Structure 1
Amino acid sequence: MTVKKNVHIIDLYTAFTSIVDHAPGKGSDLSKQFKRKLSPCCESLDSNGYCGQQGESSLELLYTVCDKSDKFFYWDDMHPTYAGWEAIMKQLEKPLKEFVDQD
């Protein structure tokens, strides 16, 4: 008789560093898909600003957005893009399925 586990610790640190801790063109296939691993797709025009910030008019955008977010790992200074999360989840899929599918 096997004992079912109630908690599974996910190693996000390793999943993230396996992608961003390589020079451009180096690393796994998941890592190589990102041309910009540490630079955000959405950047403020002001060093003290943030992605999505608007000026006095809602039409005055104080940020820029990249053309190809799928080539960037990060959306802003801390959040991965959809492509970034997809790459992370590809690494975590097998251990999560094994945990959920315990008999």
Structure 2
Amino acid sequence: MPANKKYLSSNWQRFSKISAGFLGAYLVTISFHLALSIWIDRVNVIITSSFTGFMLWIALMIIAFLSKNGWKIWMVYLLLTILFSIITYLGKLYNPINL
């Protein structure tokens, strides 16, 4: 018996969820840890990011697959990446000692 059509998503939604899960979650994870390393001790963040980065990436990937609309989750991930990139930029301006 085939699946009910109302529970199936289109190919574009499937593609956007998969790409947001892998690529978008990775971008958010890396930009978050870069922003953290500018404001906190860089060595400690790099050492702990090998563990916390993987856990954050997996959590964001699960959130992407659980969302109903893949394009909305892409927008959220891109906005978070831009926000963390701005925090990184401001950290380099106002906290140049930690470089």
Whether TM exceeds 0.5 here: the answer is: no
More strand by share: 1
TM-score interval, smaller chain: under 0.3
TM-score with structure 2 setting the length: 0.25
Q: Which has the higher helix share?
A: 2
Q: Which has the higher contact order (CA 8 A, sep 6+)?
A: 2
Structure number with larger C-alpha Rg = 1
